[in-house]
Amino acid sequence: MTLGFNLRDTLRGKRDIQTVIERNDRLEQVIDLINEKYVDTVNSNALYSDAVNGILSHLDPHTVYIPADEVEEVNETLEGSFFGIGVEFSIIRDTIQVTSVVADGPAEHAGVETGDQLIKVGDSMVAGVKITSDRIIRMLKGKQYTQVHVSLKTPLAAQLKQVTIKRDIVPVSSIDANIMLDATTGYIKIARFGAHTYTEFEKALQELIKAGMQQLIIDVRQNPGGYLDAAKNIADELLPGHKLIVYTQGLHSSRYEYKTGNKSSFESGKVAILIDESSASASEILAGAVQDWDRGIIVGRRSYGKGLVQEQYDMDDGSALRLTIAKYYTPSGRCIQRSYANGKDAYSEDFVHRFETGEFTGHDTLVNLDTTKYYTANGRVVYAGGGIKPDVYVSYDTSKRAPGMLNMMYSEDVKNVVWDYFTSHRVALKQYANINQYIAAFKPDEMVKSFLALQDPVFRKTVTKLLRQPVNYNFFCMHLKAQLARILFHDNGYFSVVSREDNVVQKAAQAFNSKEYSAIISR
């Protein structure tokens, strides 16, 4: 009986909204009339999608309609898996290069190795035909246990090898990195909050604790959010006792509180949460709970400011509606949702405004639109609206990004140079047994020379002049070294390199090792 009543309460909203849609058929009548009477041929699905989006335009910016052909792709990222062969690739000189093979995945079982080139999928040629990433992904994905036949070429062999791979579950990890920055400082980078994020986080946390971690940096910069439960469970690992993590409430949704349980694997060591202007939703729930309970410090720039909760309703045609049903509130009672009263365009242009005011690159110029004071556990004043304001502000680092540097760093030439170096030195690179040896000994100067050699004479002069400045040369070398480390040691290798030059990571580490940390949380 109890289960029945709980299911009734859980499913009531979904039944009600479907009933409303079935009852109100004016939209269907309009589209039917257009199909029957309109002078020209029309796309009914496009009409319906545009009509629904027109309705939603009067609501908040985070209520969205997902067409049926996009639902699977949208859900995969959060669900944490899909059916495929288990490789990462990069298209270099119109050829698909396997840059990483998922451990214990279908491709590894079939004998695919990093460095292999994908030439054919079935009878279709995929090399030298201007293939796109989207198309090759569609060719490699499929139903579980179905087979795909591929033709591969290894750098050391002239003949193609034929491989049959049985598609299976391929996990999509939401933890980009878990590394030790030094003897006592651990670092975990969370890319999103999906169905398996907490399990991945718990595993990463235990590995770092065994490695001697006493203080932890959790990086949720550029993290758009995801499942609230994932953020709640991670906060539970950090907060001791029976504490409120977040509560939700809406016009048609009664207050629901999420509290800590008995997890608390890391309830006493120092904690820093890294945020920026793209840290949203579940990222802000985690940061807000840590800040409100004075459990750690928040470092970086003001977060996105999304305090709305969506629930997904599946439609009969396979499409879905993600409808905002409630707001969430941090333990101190604040809702950090940015105002969208001036429309969606003004809402999205808030980031331009932050740049223009110098908040990204100069001083933290946040004016508290909501002047209501809220208080942390130790009596610190915090404010609602506009996002989570960090305890330690760190501006966007422009000192190492001279004009043209970013375009140069992420160019096709750099991608080609790094890959060519790997394929031609793959035997010699095996001397680095771990990332620490690689960081200490490897010099990327040869890759810099190769990059310069690829440039036309006029541009080469400009690049050479730019790289004569030590700060630019060192930053460019770090980028090349990090990209190669990703091939050799996966994402942990990449972040092990870049974290040493990351001013936000370094600022958090400095706070740990000074009086600043205790001064902030006890104020």
Q: Among the residues of 338-469, which ranges form H helices? A: 344-348, 350-356, 405-409, 412-425, 435-441, 445-454, 457-467
Among residues 465, 429, 470, 421, the alpha carbon closest in space to that of 447 is found at 421
Q: To the nearest 10°, the Cα dihedral for 284, 287, 293, 299?
A: -140
Q: Give me the pLDDT at residue 409, please.
A: 86
| pLDDT value, residue 397 | 78
What is the pLDDT, as a whole number, of residue 30? Answer: 87
Tokens of 23: 């009852």
pLDDT of residue 11: 46
- Give the pLDDT score at 14: 47
Q: Which residue has the tokens 């304001």?
A: 389
What lies within 8 Å, CB to CB, of 31 at 6+ separation is: 44, 47, 48, 51
| pLDDT on residue 15 | 44
pLDDT digits (tens, 9 = 90+) for 385-396: 789 999 999 988
The residues facing 162 across adjacent strands are 151
DSSP, collapsed to helix, strand or coil, labels residue 114 as coil
pLDDT at res. 448: 96
Per residue in 237-277, pLDDT (tens digit) is 999 888 999 999 999 999 999 999 877 789 999 999 999 99
The mean pLDDT values, 10 residues at a time, for the chain of 523 residues are: 51 49 70 90 87 91 91 80 89 91 90 92 92 91 93 81 92 93 97 94 97 97 95 95 94 94 88 96 97 97 94 90 95 93 86 78 61 92 90 82 78 93 94 96 97 92 91 93 96 97 96 95 81
Per-residue confidence (pLDDT) for residue 12, from 0 to 100 = 45
Dist CA 492 CA 186 (whole Å): 12
Q: What is the chain's Cα-based Rg?
A: 26
- CA distance linking residue 287 with residue 72, whole number of Å: 30
Cα separation values, 251 from 56, 306, 325, Å: 18, 18, 8
Q: What are the DSSP calls for 299-315, one per residue?
A: EES------EEEEEEE-
Q: Which domains does the chain have, with CATH numbers?
A: 2-42 (no CATH), 81-171 (2.30.42.10), 175-393 (3.90.226.10), 405-506 (no CATH)
